[in-house]
Homo-oligomer: A and B are copies of this chain.
Amino acid sequence: MSREKVLLAYSGGLDTSCILKWLLEKDYEVICFMADVGQEEDFLAARQKALKIGASEVVIKDMKNTFVTQYIWPAIQMGLIYEDRYLLGTSLARPCITVGLLETAKEFGCSIISHGATGKGNDQVRFELSAYAIDPSIRVIAPWREREFCDKFQGRTDLLAYAKANNIPVSASPKEPWSMDANIMHISYESGILEDPGHIAPENLYLMTKDPVKGPNIPSRVEITFSNGFPIRVSELSTGTTFIEPLDILTFLNKIGGEHGVGRVDIVENRFIGMKSRGVYESPGAKILHCAHQDMEIFCLDREVYRLKKHLQEKMADFVYNGLWFSPEAEFARSCLSNSQKNVRGKVVVEMFKGNVMAIARESVNSLYNKQLCSMDVHGTFLPEKSSGFIEITAMRLKETTARFGTPNFNVKMTRKNSTYYNEFK
């Protein structure tokens, strides 16, 4: 009987190399899959390594364009940000990679997929929920969740020893005291010294963004054009250099944003499986796009549409973070959010400088902004006496409440006791 075929999401690193070997020892035939989503990686070297360890095949798929157009651009269009700070660079890559993985599994007749994500993290969830949604019959081997594997490999030392014993080449350069995940949208850093949330991330950690202290001493400005909520053109204002392809736009903004140290965050976040973790992220281009999109969106959308959309956006950010990109709820939220953007069209000028990015001007033929209406210098068609009725009718509930229950409690005292403050409500 032929051996069962496993498709392994392979990174070229120590963990997945050991997993590859371990799967082979378990008598599986193993095919390796590498998705190029823009990470710096010597794919050819990794392929050689996997073949040397014993993979029957190594499939390398260039998914950069798919990642940008089908995941990052929609995320910008939807305005996704997790817990107000994280732009979801890893969360978005996972379903993208999983599509490539499952297409390859189908092609090679693998009924099992395997990955090197740990049992404590979000990525296992994202890989597997995506996989199960695409193919409910797929089977998953997650060695870091198997007792036998975890017992065998209690830490990095065990992996190194196993690699040595099995002639698995190990990078000569010492490992940084943190782990990272990179793609064209961002690099994330976590674990190691970062597990102490009070430990300030060292400056040499950042690879996509320059230390703001060392960045250019004059700000840079770019003009970003949106249509249907998507960025469709970016021009550097000083040079006029212009990009229109999504991948080119993102690459350019990563470069110019990276120069200015834009897009770093250092946060503690809530993982889906219920624990808090600390992550440091840099996503220069995505941060610039997010900032510009937000500006254009509020400029164009009706106030109440924006509020409905915002609620869906926050839900969608949770869905994506939690690995539910392929789910009925995400499909529904996405179709609504996409629909909300039909009038988000125009240009925003953003300025980048020393770690900061800020929208400073915008224009749109679709905006509900009406200069004549809001002008303080022109009465225009606006009849200011109408506001009196508006205010008095709006005040009716308040007057009734005061009439019934007395004057509101405008002296909520903030009292200091034992060196803290308390609100003292009535």
Contact = CB atoms under 8 A, between A and B. Distances in A.
Interface string A162-206: 000000000000000001000000000011100111111100000
Interface in A405-420: 405, 407-414, 416, 419-420
B213 A219 contact: yes
Interface stretch (A35-43, A48-56, A361-369): A361-369
Nearest to A179: B376
B420 A128 contact: no
A353 B264 CA distance: 13
Contacts of A218: 213
A289 to B, nearest CB: 13
Contacts of A310: 314
A362 to B, nearest CB: 5
Nearest to A338: B423
Interface residues of A, number: 163
A129 to B, nearest CB: 5
A227 B394 contact: no
A160 to B, nearest CB: 14
Contacts of A345: 420
Contacts of A142: 387-388
A395 B373 CA distance: 14
A198 to B, nearest CB: 4
Contact of A367 (B74, B190, B264, B276): B276
Given A154-B379, A374-B275, A389-B393, A336 B338 contact: no
Given A270-B298, A304-B327, A383 B376 contact: no
What is the count of identical protomers in the complex? Answer: 4
A306 B84 CA distance: 11
A118 B270 contact: no
Contacts of A374: 120, 195, 271, 275-278
Contacts of A367: 197, 268, 276
Interface string A332-371: 1111101110010100010001111011111100111111
- With most chain B CB atoms within 10 A of its CB, the pick from A146, A200, A388, A407 is A388
A294 B84 contact: yes
B404 A366 contact: yes
Contact of A128 (B273, B340, B369, B395): B395
B401 A302 contact: yes
Nearest to A103: B410
Given A295-B267, A390-B390, A395 B95 contact: no
Contacts of A396: 273-275, 373
Given A213-B219, A270-B306, A368-B404, 6 more contacts: A125-B390, A191-B375, A228-B420, A267-B298, A274-B394, A386-B392
Query: 6 tightest CB-CB pairs across the interface, nearest first?
Result: A389-B389, A119-B384, A354-B354, A227-B420, A304-B329, A302-B328
